[in-house]
Structure 1
Amino acid sequence: MKSTQTWQILLGVALLLFGVYVAIPYGTFASAIYVAASVFAATAVVFAVRHRAPFYPAAWLLLAYGLALCAIGHAIWYWLDLYGLEPFPSLADAFYLAAYPLFAASLWLLGGQNTRDDGALSDALIVGISATVLSWALLIAPYVYDPGLTLLQLLISAAYPVADLILLPLVLRLVFLHRTRLTAHRLLLVGWFAYFAADLLYAHGNSVGWYAPGGLTDGLWLIAYALFIAAAWHPSAAVEPDSRASRAELSGRRLLILGAASVLVPAVILVTAGTQFEIVRVAAIASILLFLLVMHRMAGLLRETHRQAEVLEGLSQIDPLTGAVNRRQLDYELKRELSRAVRRQTDLSIAFIDLDHFKQFNDTYGHQAGDSLLKEIVAVWHGVLRPTDVVARIGGEEFLVLFPDTNSNQAQIVSERLRNLMPHGQTFSAGLATLQPDESAENFIARADNAMYQAKSRGRNRVVFAVP
């Protein structure tokens, strides 16, 4: 069976189990279907790791182990509920809550070990802290102020939204970091939002009394499991994620998300002010944390802007093919060295170099081989020249080498060394010139250029001195 069909078939089977569970009356058969669907999800993800070899297999295995713990929790919960026992709190909650650390580790690994994702994590934390305030106001606070709950019931009731709030920044980090380029990640992310929605509805339903097993709320967890299966079996799960988002990226959509998250906290303060002092206190603390995170984010953007400016400045000075400096940077270097030579009364020499029969080399071996030859030549030259010497590419196969503090005899020795190190039997013709008193840069280069043409006319593969 083709992998492009396998994930669709497995998704269809999982969704069919969801449909049957929601359609039939709640009871023993429905409970058995639910537990079977949970076991099917964990098993299918494990088989995907073994037979489809997804990227970051450990992350997918952690997800499968978490689903297995959930399956055990479902079996215990339904057994207690069908026998008329109070299922909350129970041993099932221990298995449910134990799955969350595995889910968190899975999401962290799927995000990769990128060392430049602090922008994605900071943005995710901004949204996560705002969601914390909203969750406190809607889900956690009602349990805190419920005098009918024991301490254990209070802790377990609050543990589920808290666990979701820990997972939420990790999910958002994955969104911001990879921009959900992979279909497998898209399926996984939609599955997690379905999982969060189920937890949210379950917690709210329990707090106000409308939740009952066997309905759409429980079905949302099955939808999440179905999407997890499809994600693990999708062919794109085997592709290495490409971290498209840099620390500096702040798209319009992302900025809208961060802005909405920042506005959410003061909105909660406005709604609850004067009625729930504890919620106002939590919201105020979150506002401070959000401000600090936004400042950290802006500082990161500023650092990245400076780094990119330095990179662009370097690109504007370097020939992208060979790594030699370009004509623009040569003009700057030549002007600086001319001024230095005049000021300090030191020698300055240049070599105007043109490769021999380079067009014939391209025609014989192809332009790609010609480009490789140019890169190799410059690399060889850089290996023998001083750090103060400058190699500039000024044409297709024309180069100019700048020799500070170098007289004509020294320049000839170095130029001959460069000629003898030419790879693949390639040769060059070069014209040498040493700076004369009161000579302009244009005349300096022109003399070396003329000497190079003399080397060509004398049979190529030689170095000729320019006439003073």
Structure 2
Amino acid sequence: MGRGWKTYVAVMAVTVLAGSLLTDGSPAELTVSLGTGLSMAAAILIGLRRVPHGERAPWRFFALGLLLTALASLADGQGADVLPGDGPDLADALYLAFYPAIGIGLILMIKLSRRRTDWAALVDAATVTAGLALLAWIYAIGPALRDDTVGLAARLVTIAYPIADLLLLAITIRLLRSNGREGRRAPTLVAAAVLGYLAGDMAWVIVPHVNEAWADVAGVGQVINTVYELSVLVLTMAIAWPQVRGDGQGAASVSQLSRVQLAVLTAAVMISPALMIEQQLTGGITNGLAIAIGSAIMFLLVMARFTQLLKQAERQSRTVSALSRTDELTNLPNRRAWNDELPRVLERARSARAPVVVSMIDLDHFKSFNDTYGHPAGDRLLSAAAAAWSAELRDGDVLARYGGEEFIVLLPGTDESKATAVLERLRAVTPAAQTFSAGLARWDNTETSEALIARADSALYAAKAAGRDRILAAEAYAVS
């Protein structure tokens, strides 16, 4: 944030706090409220020059939302009516228009993050929203619908606020989760601003419930209005860090719940039993059906989340198992996988009375290659050799990395002469003009896998001792 923006934010913060000391609804207070609102909307529009052209749409909708709230505060002070009688006034229309403007801006910002849909994040958002929706129903929506002292239009306006709050909350949670681990500052500040605004709305619901007399205390309303305006200021600040567009990578894994996320989800799930206890202690349960429905919805959401966690754990288990049996450099089976597979192949060969050959391969002068060209080049040689050799093997043959520059090949259904022909094909495609030595051994249908590998290894060392760049077979055994 540049010096100009810091100065502007500081001046606006002081102005908002000073305005909170003025008499609520007075001309001076209305002037300050209107002036700050219009100023912050204008600041976002001016700040658009910092934003790439393809990323300006969310900010335009945010500026529209701020303009609407500023005009709503003016209309609220003037008492302009949209409908006669006790129907909604112009301020209500402007305040309610704020929600779709901000909601569209949030959705566009989520799209700019370019992240894939994260279903676990959606379940988390739905769980928190469902818990707060139950609170809103019991303390705001339900009582408003049952209030026969006012007309239908006024009741619809009353319930429109908490419903809009809930929808905006769900979208905001989605934005936070779409922000990923990069934690770009603009989406974080935008989300914080919206959550602060929604906290002010929630305060208007909670305060009368706790103590109805507090709602008429001027200081309470001024504090809540200050929260609104400071939240709007945070939204204005966000454009100082306009970077929003993501890299298109997958969303951060939300299966690993942080302590804060777990605490929020736990609090949301505990709303139903807390309401049940509160009503039972204060004169009996009067919203049993609503609480039961809310509990069922949250139970289903928790089960959906639990299922996601189990699936994620299963995927991770399979991944870990695969990694533990795969060589990281060459993507070939590693020594552990080989030691598991060879006894099974030998047992099948015993039953079918089929020949099996095992060959050990060692790249010649690999240490000198590493010393000359460096270890990264040596790693590239191993990887390239594994890929080239794999392409020459038949279906059913198994190539594994045994360790260092040593590889081992399993050639089922093959005798020594055919195995030698296969290995000669591998020698011909060895990359970087390198050679290898190899030893092979045919299984005698009785020896252990360890003994078979030891004979192939002895043949390998005999090939290296004979001058390298050759293939030698261990002594042959007749198949019984």
The correspondence for 1:271, drawn from 268, 271, 278, is: 278
**Shift of residue 251 of structure 1?**
4.0
Question: Which residue is 1:12 aligned to?
Answer: 10
The more displaced of 279-288 and 214-223 is: 214-223
Question: Which residue is 1:194 aligned to?
Answer: 196
Indicate conservation of the 8 Å contact 2:51/2:243, yes or no: no
Distance in 2, Cα, partners of 1:211 & 1:380: 81
Question: Which residue is 1:51 aligned to?
Answer: 50
- Residue 130 of structure 2 aligns with an amino acid whose one-letter code is I
- Residue 33 of structure 2 aligns with an amino acid whose one-letter code is Y
Question: Which residue is 2:134 aligned to?
Answer: 133
Question: Which residue is 1:325 aligned to?
Answer: 333
**Shift of residue 111 of structure 1?**
6.6
- Residue 131 of structure 2 aligns with an amino acid whose one-letter code is S
Indicate conservation of the 8 Å contact 1:272/1:280, yes or no: no
The correspondence for 2:439, drawn from 424, 427, 431, is: 431
Indicate conservation of the 8 Å contact 1:351/1:431, yes or no: yes
Indicate conservation of the 8 Å contact 1:451/1:466, yes or no: yes
The correspondence for 1:224, drawn from 227, 231, 241, is: 231
SS of match in other structure, 2:407: strand
1:37 aligned to 2:47? no
Question: Which residue is 1:61 aligned to?
Answer: 57
Question: Which residue is 2:376 aligned to?
Answer: 368
The more displaced of 285-294 and 134-143 is: 134-143
The 5 A counterparts of 1:345-424 are: 345-424=353-432
Indicate conservation of the 8 Å contact 1:137/1:279, yes or no: yes
Instruction: Decide whether aligned partners of structure 1 residues 366 and 258 sit closer, same or farther in structure 2, where only a CA change above 3 A counts.
Output: same
SS of match in other structure, 1:423: coil
**Shift of residue 462 of structure 1?**
2.6
SS of match in other structure, 1:149: coil
- Residue 198 of structure 2 aligns with an amino acid whose one-letter code is F
Cα deviation digits, residues 371-399 of structure 1 (max 9, x gap): 22222222222233234222211111111
**Shift of residue 4 of structure 1?**
6.3
1:248 aligned to 2:244? no
Indicate conservation of the 8 Å contact 2:109/2:244, yes or no: no
Distance in 1, Cα, partners of 2:48 & 2:447: 73
Distance in 2, Cα, partners of 1:182 & 1:42: 22
Instruction: Decide whether aligned partners of structure 1 residues 243 and 272 sit closer, same or farther in structure 2, where only a CA change above 3 A counts.
Output: farther
Cα deviation digits, residues 171-198 of structure 1 (max 9, x gap): 3344456468444444333222211112
Indicate conservation of the 8 Å contact 2:96/2:161, yes or no: no
- Residue 58 of structure 2 aligns with an amino acid whose one-letter code is L
Distance in 2, Cα, partners of 1:42 & 1:385: 68
**Shift of residue 280 of structure 1?**
2.9
Distance in 2, Cα, partners of 1:160 & 1:386: 69
1:92 aligned to 2:88? no
Instruction: Decide whether aligned partners of structure 1 residues 187 and 430 sit closer, same or farther in structure 2, where only a CA change above 3 A counts.
Output: same
Question: Which residue is 1:261 aligned to?
Answer: 268
Distance in 2, Cα, partners of 1:449 & 1:322: 21
1:21 aligned to 2:19? yes
SS of match in other structure, 2:263: helix
The more displaced of 428-437 and 6-15 is: 6-15
**Shift of residue 269 of structure 1?**
2.5
Instruction: Decide whether aligned partners of structure 1 residues 429 and 43 sit closer, same or farther in structure 2, where only a CA change above 3 A counts.
Output: farther
Give the TM-score taking structure 2 as reference length: 0.84
The 5 A counterparts of 1:106-255 are: 106=108, 108-109=110-111, 112-115=114-117, 117-175=118-176, 178=180, 181-202=183-204, 209-210=215-216, 215-234=222-241, 237=244, 240=247, 245-255=252-262
Instruction: Decide whether aligned partners of structure 1 residues 363 and 180 sit closer, same or farther in structure 2, where only a CA change above 3 A counts.
Output: closer
SS of match in other structure, 1:400: strand
- Residue 210 of structure 1 aligns with an amino acid whose one-letter code is D
Q: How many residues align?
A: 461
Instruction: Decide whether aligned partners of structure 1 residues 114 and 4 sit closer, same or farther in structure 2, where only a CA change above 3 A counts.
Output: farther
Distance in 2, Cα, partners of 1:256 & 1:401: 53
Distance in 1, Cα, partners of 2:7 & 2:396: 66
Instruction: Decide whether aligned partners of structure 1 residues 386 and 275 sit closer, same or farther in structure 2, where only a CA change above 3 A counts.
Output: farther
Cα deviation digits, residues 411-436 of structure 1 (max 9, x gap): 22221221211222222221222222
**Shift of residue 79 of structure 1?**
3.9
